[in-house]
Structure 1
Amino acid sequence: MTEEEKNLSSKLQNLMEKEAGKRKLTLQQIENLIQRHKESIQNVSEYDLTDTQEYYSHWNLISNLGTDYTEREFRKFDVDDNNSKLIQFLLYYFNGCRYAQNVFPEENYKVHKNLLLVGEPGTGKTMLMQIFADYLKLTCNPNAFENLSVTQMMNYYKIHGHIDLYTYNENQSKGFKPNPFNICLNDIGLETENQKSYGTSLDSVIDEFLYARYEIFQQYGKKYHITSNLGIAEFKKRFGPRLVDRFKTFNVLPLCGESRRI
């Protein structure tokens, strides 16, 4: 073998060793990566509410959490014809259970959509969302969310001049990746929206929130829920066509009945 052939052989040997040393994905690694990706985008609850016994355990927990709130006013947490099916839907919904879509068969409610609770003042919209916020945190559910009132957001805007904390949360970002979280904005439609802060109409702050949260929902899968005293017709009047179109990403849930406030 000539010197040139030896050099060529050596180079081929080195190349083969490098190729052999490259990292390769095993089937087990692929399965693990797929599972990790699924968990990161689907927010799957670890509880199976298709199991009847499991479902009623969670129902009892919700009932007791509600009682914890109403006992401060020396009254019961009432589950009645006006809210029982809604509570059932929310239990299935937040646990990613397909049964949620069967609770109101006449509606086209979907588990992947956001929530818009509408109803007269005092019917229990905000309290229900507070109860479920507590429930989701106690059960370490990935669909847990923070409750935020319109008044609180307005005050934050007046102090800071922006609402980043409740949208992209860039202050807590890692590199170029923002850190938004699931949120529920309560009481859209309050008179406080008509106020102004340094010339900026506060109803435009609500619009900014809705535009940003829609993008966040589309890009990062972080949900934004809403409660409001406005009816559907009032919503269309309050918000422009572009925003109204984005409400197609919501399950619109009416909460009927008289005021539960004492």
Structure 2
Amino acid sequence: MNHNPTEQNTSTQEQTKTIQSHYSYTEIIVWLEKKGVELYGNHFKILESDYPIIYKLIAYFLKDEATCFQYNINLNKGILLSGPVGCGKTSLMNLMKHLTATEHKFFVKPCRDISFEFIQDGYQIIHKYSKGKLYESEPKTICFDDLGTENNLKYYGNECNVMAEILLSRYDIFTAKKIQTHITTNLSASEIENVYGNRVRSRLREMINLIAFDKTILDKR
């Protein structure tokens, strides 16, 4: 299917030029692109077709209330960034760490790594990524990267959907302490429900803002 590039360009401009903010979003994108080149090499580029997604992420992580209101983004919730494989979700979330104020700092943790830790250390891993380590007083804001790439795992013969348990526990700390959770995934909402159950899907609705790339977007790798 051929897209008319001029049509796409105008719709991108329309979506971005309506923002009324005291931040210069175009300058922030230039800065983010430079940061991306530092982190990922000279091939890193922010495409204009991705601006509508990136503007939403910038608004959220800068806590730009007026712009978030225009985008219907709730600053009390976390972010679920969804999109096809290779569209740049992980690198964008890593870049957003550099925009985030100290009190909202988060770290990015691949779900596959958590699953390997679970095989090695068992159920304490669920505690580690939800309530916090036994010796730490506070849980932390985490971005669970690539939800859906981990598998159901057996620990001493017991099968456990590790990420489902962690997300349910993080819902509890979200309601009790307002600690946010961010997620990147290439799963759709119905796929999330199939893999993690309807309880997880309904909790996620309460915990996160959905920001989604178009399914037709090209793999940038």
> Smaller-chain TM-score range?
0.7 to 0.9
SS at structure 1 position matched to 2:209: strand
What's 1:80 paired with?
48
Verify: 1:109 aligned to 2:63, yes or no: no
Verify: 1:258 aligned to 2:215, yes or no: no
Which sections of structure 1, spanning at least 5 residues, go unmatched?
A: 1-48
Give the conservation status (yes or no) of the 8 Å contact 2:119–2:154.
Answer: no
1:61–1:165 distance in 2 versus 1, CA, 3 Å: farther
* Distance in 2 of aligned mates of 1:76 and 1:147: 19
Give TM-score, length-normalised by structure 1: 0.68
More helix by share: 1
1:138-181 CA-to-partner distances (Å, cap 9, x unmatched) read xx4321101000111112222222222221114333xxxx3101
Query: Match of 2:219, as an amino acid?
Result: S
1:109–1:66 distance in 2 versus 1, CA, 3 Å: same
Which sections of structure 2, spanning at least 5 residues, go unmatched?
A: 1-19
Matched residues, percent identical?
A: 24
What's 1:186 paired with?
145
What's 1:132 paired with?
96
Equivalence map 1:159-238=2 (5 Å): 159-161=120-122, 162-163=124-125, 164-173=127-136, 178-190=137-149, 192-202=150-160, 204-238=161-195
What's 1:147 paired with?
108
Of 22, 29, 51, 2:22 maps to 51
What's 2:11 paired with?
none
Give the conservation status (yes or no) of the 8 Å contact 1:90–1:100.
Answer: no
Bigger Rg, which one: 1
* Distance in 1 of aligned mates of 2:86 and 2:115: 22
Verify: 1:122 aligned to 2:86, yes or no: yes
What's 2:7 paired with?
none
Query: Match of 1:158, as an amino acid?
Result: I
Query: Match of 2:30, as an amino acid?
Result: N
1:183-242 CA-to-partner distances (Å, cap 9, x unmatched) read 00011111x31342322334x211110111111111111111111111122122222222
Q: How many residues align?
A: 196
1:88-109 CA-to-partner distances (Å, cap 9, x unmatched) read 1111111221212314xxxx43
What's 2:119 paired with?
158
Query: Match of 1:77, as an amino acid?
Result: K
Post-superposition offset of 1:112? 1.7
Post-superposition offset of 1:56? 4.7
Give TM-score, length-normalised by structure 2: 0.80
What's 2:10 paired with?
none
SS at structure 2 position matched to 1:193: coil
Give the conservation status (yes or no) of the 8 Å contact 2:60–2:73.
Answer: no
